[in-house]
Structure 1
Amino acid sequence: MSGHKCYSWDLRDRYTQDKSVVNKMQQKYWETKQAFIKATGKKEDEHVVASDADLDAKLELFHSIQRTCLDLSKAIVLYQKRICFLSQEENELGKFLRSQGFQDKTRAGKMMQATGKALCFSSQQRLALRNPLCRFHQEVETFRHRAISDTWLTVNRMEQCRTEYRGALLWMKDVSQELDPDLYKQMEKFRKVGGFMRVTERGYLLEGNEV
């Protein structure tokens, strides 16, 4: 008798494990289907999309800030390079005019000397812009690598939760279409999917509030 009972419990445990594996496979299937729908740009349920309008607006703002900061960082680097190049060219031209002005004893020579001196001074002033630009670039990069990167991690977690939640909604919709209240197994499946959907919804709302 004891051996028979152990055998019976082994079967139950194995059946429970098999059900757990099947459930996980089903969950993964609907998550993957939702991810595929998003990746291919297929139309989603308009009510589900509308419910995320505020969050999507925040995400659009975040992505705009992300792009702007990257563009600003690149622009500062390019501006520094152009300033250095222009300063060097300006300084060379100034030196050339001054040297030619010293050789020319006419009024034109004096004008060349004055112009050359002004160009050399201008090149030094232009070069002085590098330090504040470097500090500005460091501040932008710090903001990008801290604030934006941290937010990006939160957004990724939120998107994963949203995919799971919308996948659960797809699963729930599929189960609802074939639901027969008189069949116990179908009702159990419906309750199981409903429970999973509520869990994913809580996770999604929690991560969404962090954005």
Structure 2
Amino acid sequence: MDRYAQDKSVVNKMQQKYWETKQAFIKATGKKEDEHVVASDADLDAKLELFHSIQRTCLDLSKAIVLYQKRICFLSQEENELGKFLRSQGFQDKTRAGKMMQATGKALCFSSQQRLALRNPLCRFHQEVETFRHRAISDTWLTVNRMEQCRTEYRGALLWMKDVSQELDPDLYKQMEKFRKVQTQVRLAKKNFDKLKMDVCQKVDLLGASRCNLLSHMLATYQTTLLHFWEKTSHTMAAIHESFKGYQPYEFTTLKSLQDPMKKLVEKEKKKKITQQESTDAAVQEPSQLISLEEENQRKESTSFKTEDGKSILSALDKSSTHTACSGPIDELLDMKPEEG
């Protein structure tokens, strides 16, 4: 009898694991679940969304603080180098401009040293954020994981009870006994789930409140240090500005844009191509001009020949006309006959 009860418990556990696995598969694949069951966990889902937001933003804040510290160190180093350069050049220049460079270089070196003081509250801020992430958020994350496991068990038990209720026959004792066992399993799973659900909601609320306290305290310290830094540097710069009054200002001309050397090469290539094209066009036009000149010479010669021929013809005609005009009376004289007595 004990062996039968043990086998029964093993079968019960196997069935329970089956429905839990089925519920996990439904959740992983994103299939639609019972809308009433999902609606009952709406407040819990809202708390989980807030928790994931806190977890993500704290990680981003930690990365931003580290990057900000690196930028401050780099800026301070560059500012210090610029101050040293101005001081060294100011010692070499004996004019008023040298004094101005020395004073400005000292101010920049002082500003770079004061800027490094901002790293102290930032380092403290980063340590507090990391402690908050590794302790408070990690503890809440463990509770959330346990709650998710209990929720999967509870919803799997609901699926199991739904399947058993569809085949339930009140007249059969075995089916009623099976339904009561499944119902007991659902009640136990719901009890564990409700307890962890309450723990998660409380821890998420405390997590949000503690994060607000952390940010307000650490940012107030950083803000105070930043204000002291700007006050000291502004006083130093104002004193230098007052000492520079009465100095002759310099006029500077700045280049607004630089011409690209590749652009010059392209323009030169274009000019070369244009000149080559013009030379080739001129070479092509020269033979045509020579041909046209020869044609004009031939035309002139032909016209001169024509005019000379015309003149010769006219002169011949004139000679013939004069000859006929003169030969007329002579012929008449030669043809004269003696008058008859």
Counterpart Cα distance in 2 of 1:122 and 1:165: 63
Distance 1:207-1:97 versus aligned 2 partners, 3 A rule = farther
After superposition, what is the alpha-carbon deviation per residue over 1:132-182, rounded to whole angstroms, capped at 9, x for unaligned? 111111111121122111111111111111111011111111111222222
Equivalent position to 1:57, from 46, 54, 69: 46
**Structure 1 position 111, deviation (Å):** 2.5
Counterpart Cα distance in 2 of 1:138 and 1:167: 42
Identity %: 96
* 8 A Cα contact 1:158 1:208, kept in partner: no
Report the 3-state secondary structure (helix = DSSP H, G, I; strand = E; otherwise coil) of the residue aligned with 1:209: coil
After superposition, what is the alpha-carbon deviation per residue over 1:87-128, rounded to whole angstroms, capped at 9, x for unaligned? 111111111111112112233322222222222111111111
Stretch deviating more after TM superposition (172-181 or 108-117): 108-117
Distance 1:61-1:35 versus aligned 2 partners, 3 A rule = same
Counterpart Cα distance in 1 of 2:121 and 2:339: 37
* 8 A Cα contact 1:158 1:207, kept in partner: no
Stretch deviating more after TM superposition (175-184 or 42-51): 175-184
Instruction: Find the counterpart in structure 2 of residue 72 from structure 1.
Output: 61
Instruction: Find the counterpart in structure 2 of residue 48 from structure 1.
Output: 37
* 8 A Cα contact 1:157 1:207, kept in partner: no
Counterpart Cα distance in 2 of 1:21 and 1:42: 29
Counterpart Cα distance in 2 of 1:20 and 1:208: 189
**Structure 1 position 201, deviation (Å):** 136
After superposition, what is the alpha-carbon deviation per residue over 1:43-73, rounded to whole angstroms, capped at 9, x for unaligned? 1111111000111111111111111111111
Instruction: Find the counterpart in structure 2 of residue 207 from structure 1.
Output: 337
**Structure 1 position 208, deviation (Å):** 177
Stretch deviating more after TM superposition (13-22 or 107-116): 107-116
Distance 1:97-1:207 versus aligned 2 partners, 3 A rule = farther
Distance 1:209-1:114 versus aligned 2 partners, 3 A rule = farther
Counterpart Cα distance in 1 of 2:23 and 2:118: 51
Give the alignment's TM-score, normalised by structure 1: 0.81
Q: How does 1:1-211 map to 2 (within 5 A)?
A: 13-192=2-181
Distance 1:171-1:177 versus aligned 2 partners, 3 A rule = same
After superposition, what is the alpha-carbon deviation per residue over 1:188-208, rounded to whole angstroms, capped at 9, x for unaligned? 11111xxxxxxx9999xx999
Distance 1:141-1:109 versus aligned 2 partners, 3 A rule = same
Distance 1:30-1:120 versus aligned 2 partners, 3 A rule = same
Counterpart Cα distance in 1 of 2:72 and 2:106: 19
Counterpart Cα distance in 2 of 1:210 and 1:89: 152
Structure of greater relative contact order (alpha carbons < 8 Å, 6+ residues apart): 1
**Structure 1 position 14, deviation (Å):** 2.1
Stretch deviating more after TM superposition (49-58 or 136-145): 136-145
Counterpart Cα distance in 2 of 1:208 and 1:142: 170
Structure 2, unaligned stretches of length 5 or more?
182-306, 311-335
Counterpart Cα distance in 2 of 1:24 and 1:143: 39
